[in-house]
Chains A and B, each alone.
Chain A
Amino acid sequence: QVLLVQSGAEVKRPGASVRVSCKASGYTFGDHYIQWVRQAPGQGLEWMGVINPLGGRPSYAQKFQGRVTMTSDTSTSTIYMEMRSLTSEDTAVYFCARLPGIYAFDVWGQGTMVTVSS
């Protein structure tokens, strides 16, 4: 069974950083890119960026350039997304999702709620 399992909910102060993990199982880790998507409360889906688990330079949405870093650990089949300089507008559920050999995200992590509050 293909699974993406994310780390637990986080509560952060404005200006802090957060790192969310996404552990893949049930398939060959390096075969498929991983994307990150977020969803603010009551809002739609927002694409953040993509990473090749085997390396290479991630691609980020312009909005997140310079503030988000995506990394991969092949030894544990885990992808990380770090966001810095958090504000209340970053309060959202963060999802990782797999991009397989089709043009779609077929498997999603369960989501990680990040709350930014003073």
Chain B
Amino acid sequence: QLTQSPSSLSASVRDRVTITCRASQGINSRLAWYQQKPGKVPKLLIYDGSTVQNGVPSRFSGSGSGTDFTLTISSLQPEDFATYYCQQLNTYPITFGQGTRLEIK
């Protein structure tokens, strides 16, 4: 089970934002982060806990190990307002966090 927090967040352009994801047991850093905009397909941002997917801006970073992980956006841009999901792939069933909706303040 994955618990993501907060469920929603209001922030301003150029803010630094952190989203957390906690697993109920260790997941060997087999954790990914996705961004999803309304009506769009989820986009992979981070895999293996901290590896940034090709083409993803460097302001996105991931960290953590064991059961606790974070997604950080160092300086929010207008196009970053979206919903973010964490996902564990350590064991089946694969599970997603409930999502964090990032809104403009």
A: residues with CB less than 8 A from B are: 35, 44-47, 50, 59, 61-62, 95, 99, 102-106, 108-111
A47 to B96, CA, bound (A): 8
Interface assignment of B70: CB less than 8 Å from any CB of chain A: no
Identity of the chain A residue whose Cβ is nearest the Cβ of B51 in the assembled complex: A102
Taking CB atoms, residues of chain B closer than 8 Å to A110 are 41
- 15 pairs, A vs B, C-beta closer than 8 Å: A35-B94, A44-B97, A45-B36, A50-B92, A50-B94, A102-B51, A103-B32, A103-B89, A103-B90, A105-B32, A105-B87, A106-B44, A108-B41, A109-B41, A111-B41
Residue contact A102 to B48, C-beta cutoff 8 Å: yes
B: residues with CB less than 8 A from A are: 30-32, 34, 36, 41-42, 44, 47-48, 51, 53, 85, 87, 89-90, 92-99
Residue contact B42 to A108, C-beta cutoff 8 Å: yes
Identity of the chain A residue whose Cβ is nearest the Cβ of B40 in the assembled complex: A111
A55 → B minimal CB distance (Å): 18
| Residue of B47, B48, B51, B98 ringed by the most chain A CB atoms within 10 A | B47
The 6 closest A-B pairs by CB, nearest first: A104-B47, A104-B32, A103-B30, A103-B89, A47-B94, A45-B96
